[in-house]
Structure 1
Amino acid sequence: MSNPAVLSTESLSYRVGGESGKSGKTLVDDVTLHAAQGETIGLVGPNGSGKTTLLRCVYGTLTPTGGRVLLDGDDLAARSAKDRARRIATVPQDGHTGFELTVRQIVAMGRSPHKRFWEADTAEDERLVLAALERVGADGLAHRVFAGLSGGERQRALVARALVQQPGVLVLDEPTNHLDIRYQLEILALVRDLGTTNLLALHDLNLAAYYCDRLYVLDAGRLVASGPPKEVLTSELLAEVYGVTAEVSVHPATGAPTVTYLPPST
């Protein structure tokens, strides 16, 4: 269902303000990252570090004020919004909708980049919608009202909507937000197994360590560390970036680094 792409940013920056004598503020500052075909890349960092802003620059709701976003080596700024949407799909942090639409209708919206305005769904569109729902284990939800779903069910439907775009890159902003631990594990396992190139922002460092191939750590908009989780997640980095005391060990069952936070000394 997907053809994974290579995603890169080159010296990506995003700045607000600065007009009429104002100093402005840099939210993302000279960030270069690379995601190979089929990789799952995690963006981590404290609140306000620039993760969501960087993601919005990647999927096109914000225009970088410096640097470039590249897809398979091509500058995304040269592509139309519809063309970008054919190759990059997003699962937003807030999946709520005020419309009383069914899950099937919500998922079918993902076909919009491949259709003309008001063009009716075809038999192929319907096939792709049903295949995506089955892929994410939500085929039994097709006729349910989206607004009535649980958080985990809603996230599955939104991933299905992204899949019917047939993207090469899937961008997810805090996909485990407000989910209980079972759904957190299920959603991240699902995303990792899709075959797309994935870029996701996560707060939970232990989930990031287990499900991501590589991590990029942001602090105040700047990239401060990158690499495999075993190399990136250290007690020293957590103290520097998050201001916490923590022990990092290798879990004997998973082989992934595990972060144990320690209370402040009194």
Structure 2
Amino acid sequence: MTRGPAELTVEAVRYEVDGHTLLHGVDLTARPGETVGVVGPNGSGKTTLLRCVYGTLRPTAGRVLLDGADAAALGAKERARRVAVVPQDAAGTFGLTVREVVAMGRSPHKRFWEQDGPEDRRQVAGALERVGAAGYAERRFEELSGGERQRALVARALVQEPGLLALDEPTNHLDIRYQLEVLGLVRGLPATALLVLHDLNLAASFCDRLYVLSAGRVVAAGPPGEVLDEALLAEVYGVRTRVGVHPTTGAPSIVYLP
């Protein structure tokens, strides 16, 4: 069964490891169909938060809700039906073709050891075409460039038909053309999207709302035009900027100053 866009609620999530607190009571919401960005400097807790959302890390305190249900109580297969992940790396893909890697995304919709059917093959072919990877579908995944791998991982997430798409630096290794195409594709999907991004101009252009993390705390949240100002960027990133308005898109446009 295909779900509609999910509602994500992160309530007072705290995460500690080895006596160090990486997240300090983070609250976050993503309404159905929204594209929400998480930004902040290196070490601010962005990837840790994303991993708590999709379940590879369990919060020390607080909880993550998907459509009002506690995500920690969901089984692995049910969680995979609801949440698709585009990670920074791609474990478990050695020796597989791109088509086989993408087809892995259909697993939550099938019984154990069930073979791919016509609908699975249709979904895989469509996703490969949408991300521009159809031309190298039979190549080994480990032979690809970084950008080609990233497109294949996005295609794998698409075929899960998730309610929530969680992406950790989805534009990593992509040239400008494919950065724009992938983020435009994410915005056009019938799913809620939570993205960790480093590029603030891309975040401003493609995200409905932003959460700014610093040292494991949310220091600002809201539409990009309300969040990204020169004082905040100086405080969080330690850089001088000029923030204007893009003449075509109307999104904030950030110029970094020496």
Interval containing the TM-score (normalised by the shorter chain): over 0.9
Alignment partners' CA distance in 2, 1:38 and 1:27: 28
SS at match of 1:4: coil
Q: CA-atom RMSD, angstroms? A: 1.6
Identity fraction in percent: 70
Gaps of 5+ in 2: none
**What is the one-letter code of the residue matched to 1:249?**
G
Q: Tell me, yes or no, if the aligned pair for 1:2 and 1:163 is still in contact at 8 Å.
A: no
Q: How does 1:1-266 map to 2 (within 5 A)?
A: 3-17=4-18, 24-95=19-90, 99-263=94-258
Judge which range, 35-44 or 190-199, deviates more. Answer: 190-199
Alignment partners' CA distance in 2, 1:97 and 1:190: 25
Judge which range, 62-71 or 126-135, deviates more. Answer: 126-135
Q: Tell me, yes or no, if the aligned pair for 1:2 and 1:195 is still in contact at 8 Å.
A: no
SS at match of 1:218: strand
Judge which range, 227-236 or 145-154, deviates more. Answer: 145-154
SS at match of 2:94: coil
SS at match of 1:11: strand
Shift of the 172–259 alpha-carbon distance from structure 1 to 2, 3 Å rule, reads: same
Judge which range, 182-191 or 222-231, deviates more. Answer: 182-191
Q: Tell me, yes or no, if the aligned pair for 2:164 and 2:192 is still in contact at 8 Å.
A: yes
Q: Tell me, yes or no, if the aligned pair for 2:98 and 2:152 is still in contact at 8 Å.
A: yes
Alignment partners' CA distance in 1, 2:155 and 2:251: 28
Alignment partners' CA distance in 2, 1:97 and 1:5: 27
Alignment length (residue pairs) = 257
Alignment partners' CA distance in 2, 1:185 and 1:197: 18
1:7-62 deviation digits (Å, cap 9, x = unpaired):
11011111112xxxxxx111111111111111110000000000000000000000
1:80-107 deviation digits (Å, cap 9, x = unpaired):
1111011000001124766121111001
Please, what TM-score do these two structures have when normalized by structure 1? 0.92
The Cα of 1:219 is off from its aligned counterpart by 0.3
SS at match of 2:41: coil
1:135-157 deviation digits (Å, cap 9, x = unpaired):
33333332222223333322221
SS at match of 1:85: helix
Judge which range, 207-216 or 133-142, deviates more. Answer: 133-142
Please, what TM-score do these two structures have when normalized by structure 2? 0.94
Alignment partners' CA distance in 1, 2:248 and 2:90: 34
1:104-161 deviation digits (Å, cap 9, x = unpaired):
1001111122233322222222222122223333333322222233333222211111
Q: Tell me, yes or no, if the aligned pair for 2:243 and 2:253 is still in contact at 8 Å.
A: yes
**What is the one-letter code of the residue matched to 1:217?**
V
Gaps of 5+ in 1: 18-23
